[in-house]
Chains A and B, each alone.
Chain A
Amino acid sequence: MTHSALSRVRPARFSRGAGSIGRFLIALLRSPQSAAGTVIVLFFLALALFGAQIAPYRANDQSNPPRHPPTAAPLERLRRVWDDPGRLFETETYRPGPYPFGTDTLGRDVFSRVILGTSSIFRVAGFGTLIAVVIGTFLGLFAGYQGGLVDEIITRVFDALLAMPALLLALVILGIIRNVETEPGSFQAALADNAVLLVIALVYVPIVARVVRSSTLEVKTRAFVQAAQIRGESWGYILFREIFPSVIPALVVEASLRFSYAIFLVASLGFLGVAARPPSPDWGLMVNENRGGYYQLAPWALEYPAAAIALLVIGVNLMSDGIRRAVQRSE
């Protein structure tokens, strides 16, 4: 077989392009559940990107009256319209008012804080997942293709790491480094500032690597990989140009699943008080700060961030479930 003949051994269904992405998007948006999930996620993503322009107050602006009830409580509005249907046509009914979600005990606007908290949860969960996916893909491809002792060691170590629940590992690491003093501007300070992001990446690397490894094991015996080996292609070429494209479907599914767990994990760590520090507008932290005795005084300061977490988690879950089904269908 000549060189050019060998390079044509790759089956057509592994070629990827605009067409397959389009088919994937159509499959994703066809189901109402995953379409709704995608819309919710995109909505929060827009808030994360443009929140600073939308939020009426700064996150720690305390110039507002403390414990002001929400001026846009939907149930309250409905009741008013119910009592007097004429109000349905008054513009007053649709005005959000100065504090749509109320203010907390320190006089900070909950609406602004919820909006401004979006970017940090997206940044930490998103980049944490991204780092985990990149490193995990590399390790998984390497271990799966290499096989032998290297594979055995990597797999055993990762299996052992996975015995510890992600939340527990993250909690222990963050708890231990939480009160460490660092010099401003130093490398250690940069690490400490991004501790949650790095911990998310760390706890998800083994999981991503395991998924990529098992796909790699499946693919590496196929004819097109053997053809590339016979052609004398370099190791990197075989890993990334021949094997990697076949791993992408499984990787996309796993990445979206990891992202949804990461959102969950960041919110939980924030609630447990080991992620963000006060006074940052972190959703989990806001829920934690406003429970207990404060809850009776200003329940809205807890309820709106909790609702935001709930909505985002549901949205991400529905979307990632949709992605899984769309990928399976286009396979």
Chain B
Amino acid sequence: MSRFLARRLLFLIFTLFLTTVIVFLLTRVLPGDVARVLLGRDASPAAVEAKREELGLNDPLVVQYVNWAVDFVRGDWGQTFASPRQDIRAIVTERLVNSGRLAFLTLLIALPLAITLGVIAGLTEGKLSDSVISVLSLSVVSLPEFVTGLFLINTVALRWRDNPIADALGWFPASSAVRPDLSFREALPALWLPAIAATLVLMAYIVRLVRAGVIEELKKDYVRTAVLKGLPYRTVIVKHVLRNALIPTVTVIATSSGWLISGMVVIESVFSYPGLGRLLINTAINNRDLPLIQAIVAVTVVIILLANFTADLLYALLNPRIRLE
């Protein structure tokens, strides 16, 4: 167990190192002078040079990377390039909490729904209900996030605006551009629509995995044995098939974290929700704010890696047959 843990942790650190190096190189090597972008086209060469010196852009690349990495691990994520210069860690943490709320609500809706549909589809393989669920999850639900998101805004938010129930609850506003520092309860009305859009994105993936898991388990010998020894079909399904088929779906939450995060980048942009993805697009990339881009990418990769790491552990704990070697 400890060997397994050590190896996974090593891989985690290596991956983090490699991805941050890649993003670091991208921000430094790709054409375009940051100092000039910051100062504008009319700045004098001397001013540009002074700015480059101030930002540390004249140091060798290795020095720049090590400086950044050491500070990052220490918790000093630097300040944004764009003025007014803000503390990066403060904004990123605030936005991360917001994205976390959206992800939490999404998983709360998506997981039970997707697992139920996946189990139904798997148990009725080849029948009408399976075809309907499969085609729906393959087509309508696998649309780009911004298409589903805009569709939800244009139908639910705009056309149902006069609906007294939605109006009384304050749910489904067309824009989720809430203040970033709201509490969860205050932000909740604005969260429903983006969460539903993200649910549709995530669901297709989980439904397909659960369906495949159930179909695979049903073919196993122990199912035939259980049926032949006279157990009721219901007991066979609930006590044997589902128990085994759903173990892999525990890891689904984790393995789909990358999928969920990239979906949320788009969804936050569609709904103007102040999460990490919107910070990346609207602030970091638009201003070409290199330290901010680096911090956001590093935080995202850490989350994905930790999620995968937890998934490996959970999987091993739930399934004693798997040897952690």
A residues contacting B by CB (< 8 A) are: 33, 156-157, 159-161, 163-168, 171-173, 175-182, 188, 264, 267-268, 271-274, 284, 287-288, 291, 295, 299, 302, 306, 309-310, 313-314, 317-318, 321
* A168, A179, A317, A318 — most chain B CB neighbours (10 Å): A168
Are A171's CB and B280's CB within 8 A?
yes
A179 and B14 contact, CB distance less than 8 A: no
**A175 adjacent to B285 (CB under 8 Å):** yes
Cβ contacts A to B, 24 pairs, < 8 Å: A33-B138, A163-B301, A164-B19, A164-B258, A164-B304, A167-B265, A175-B281, A176-B290, A177-B32, A181-B32, A182-B31, A188-B31, A264-B142, A268-B145, A268-B266, A274-B285, A284-B146, A291-B150, A295-B154, A299-B154, A302-B150, A310-B143, A317-B138, A321-B138
B262/A168 in contact, CB under 8 A: yes
The segment out of B21-29, B223-231, B234-242 that lies at the interface is B21-29
User: Is B147 part of the binding interface, using a Cβ–Cβ cutoff of 8 Å?
Assistant: yes
Report how many residues on chain B are interfacial, defined by Cβ distance under 8 Å: 47
User: Is the CB–CB distance between B146 and A271 below 8 Å?
Assistant: yes
- Residues A267 and B144 in contact, CB atoms below 8 Å apart: yes
Task: Please tell me if the beta carbons of B144 and A264 are within 8 angstroms of each other in the complex.
Answer: yes
Which B residues between 25 and 69 are near A, CB-CB below 8 angstroms?
26-27, 30-32, 37
Whether A168 contacts B300 in the complex (CB less than 8 A), given A176-B293, A274-B285, comes out as: yes
A296 nearest in chain B by CB position: B158
Instruction: Tell me the number of A-to-B contacts counted with CB atoms below 8 Å.
Output: 132
Q: Which residues of A contact B146 (CB under 8 A)?
A: 267-268, 271, 284, 287-288
A272→B26 contact, CB < 8 A: no
**Bound complex: CA A139 to CA B190 (Å):** 47
Residues from chain B with a CB closer than 8 A to the CB of A295 are 154
Q: Report chain B residues within 8 Å CB of A177.
A: 30-32
Bound together, the chains give a CA A164 to CA B143 distance in angstroms of: 21
Q: What's the Cα separation between A126 and B78 when bound, in Å?
A: 41
Interface of B is mostly: helix
Assess whether A164 is in contact with B297, with CB atoms less than 8 Å apart: yes
- Say whether A171 contacts B265, CB under 8 Å: yes
Taking CB atoms, residues of chain B closer than 8 Å to A317 are: 138-139, 142
Minimal Cβ-Cβ distance residue in B for A295: B154
B26 touches A173 (CB 8 A): yes
Asked if A160 and B14 sit within 8 Å, CB to CB, the answer is yes
B278-294 interface bits toward A, Cβ cutoff 8 Å, 1 = contact, 0 = none = 00110011101010010
Q: Point out the residues of chain B lying under 8 angstroms from A302, CB to CB.
A: 150
Q: Hey, which chain B residues are within 8 Å of A182, CB to CB?
A: 31
Residues of B within 8 A of A267 (CB): 144, 146
B15 CB to closest chain A CB (Å) equals 4
Q: Which 10 pairs from chain A and chain B are nearest by CB?
A: A175-B285, A167-B262, A165-B262, A180-B32, A160-B18, A160-B15, A314-B139, A165-B258, A271-B146, A180-B31
